[in-house]
Chains A and B, each alone.
Chain A
Amino acid sequence: MHIPDGYLSPQTCAVMYAAAAPFWYTAAKKLKKNLSSKMVPLLSVFSAFSFVIMMFNAPVPGGTTAHATGGVLIAIILGPWAAVMGVSAALFIQALFFGDGGILAFGANVFNMAVILPFVGYWIYKLTAGSSGPGSSRQWLGAALGGYVGINMAALAAAIEFGLQPLLFHTANGTPLYCPYNISQAVPAMLFAHMTVAGIAEGLVTAGVLVFLKKSMPEVLAAT
């Protein structure tokens, strides 16, 4: 889901930076108010986890690949605003050093994977878990569902950004200038990869790590 440079027009990239910026600003303010500096090591561990889990590419039928992001996990443990910061940091290092996701497209990638993904995942988790206690089956279910739906909504957003390109940016005779695939091609392709593979991976990672923390390091969940 890391959009490379060239797939989105410069105008789209500018709009997406503008869409991501208020979330960075608000995240900075919210964390200053709500997150203790004692939680910084935990934020770093899970941001690094987000970076490394994205290197585990899984095959998607049809010859493409997909991966989990760990973004919903950060949102559940440290809150969605911490996830905005943590996943943005992972995406920044990926773009700058490893060419995974573009520099021009960085705003779009942040909006999809560091904003939509953790917030949607967190809401689904909250809705499902309700007020049930830590370790309840509703919590695991909420985490798995949150991961699954969160990454799929992020993939849908990326697909819409891809799919708008041929509609909005083409030469006089209609030849696409950027991503040549329209909405009716991009949306099914992206959702197929994420509904069959990446969503399941994200759901398993989110619920699996929470189960591990609950069983062997309950103090981490209690501190949040």
Chain B
Amino acid sequence: MKNITKLWIGLGIMGLLTPLGLLATGDAWGEWGSEAFKDMVGFVPKGLERFSDFFSAPFADYTISGTGDVSGYIISAFSGMLLVILLTWTVGKIFTHNDE
């Protein structure tokens, strides 16, 4: 594969620009927290309440405790990209063929 430095730089620029994604307020449809259902339909469905906290992610909603919304979002973007790269690099090396 030829030099893809430009693409890595592009990822870095995108990481720095991610706070633009914070400008839009509100949740995506169907991604509300369980409490929101009290206002929307008047009750929190039992099963939804039971399983909504099945797992607590360490950096929920791309926030990092001790940092601000914007800096936490940027740190989340870069650490998330790094984790995705590590995962796809490892899995990719296993599930591709070597034709050097």
Contact = CB atoms under 8 A, between A and B. Distances in A.
Partners in one complex: yes
Contacts of A41: 1, 4, 89
A157 to B, nearest CB: 12
A190 B2 contact: no
Nearest to A159: B30
Interface in A67-110: 67, 85-86, 89-90, 92-100, 102-104
Contacts of A190: 29-30
Interface of A: 1-7, 9-10, 27-28, 31-33, 35-45, 47-53, 55-60, 63-67, 85-86, 89-90, 92-100, 102-104, 158, 162, 169, 171, 175-181, 186, 189-190, 193, 216-217, 219-220, 223
B5 to A, nearest CB: 10
A214 B54 CA distance: 45
Contacts of A50: 84
Interface of B: 1-2, 4, 6-8, 10-11, 14-15, 17-18, 20-31, 34, 37, 41, 43, 45-62, 73, 76-77, 79-85, 87-89, 91-93, 95-100
Contacts of A38: 1, 99-100
Given A51-B81, A65-B24, A65-B26, A220 B58 contact: no
Nearest to A3: B30
Contacts of B14: 49, 52-53
Contacts of B52: 4-6
A36 B96 contact: yes
A97 B59 contact: yes
Shortest 5 CB-CB contacts between residues of A and residues of B:
A99-B57, A6-B52, A177-B47, A99-B60, A40-B92
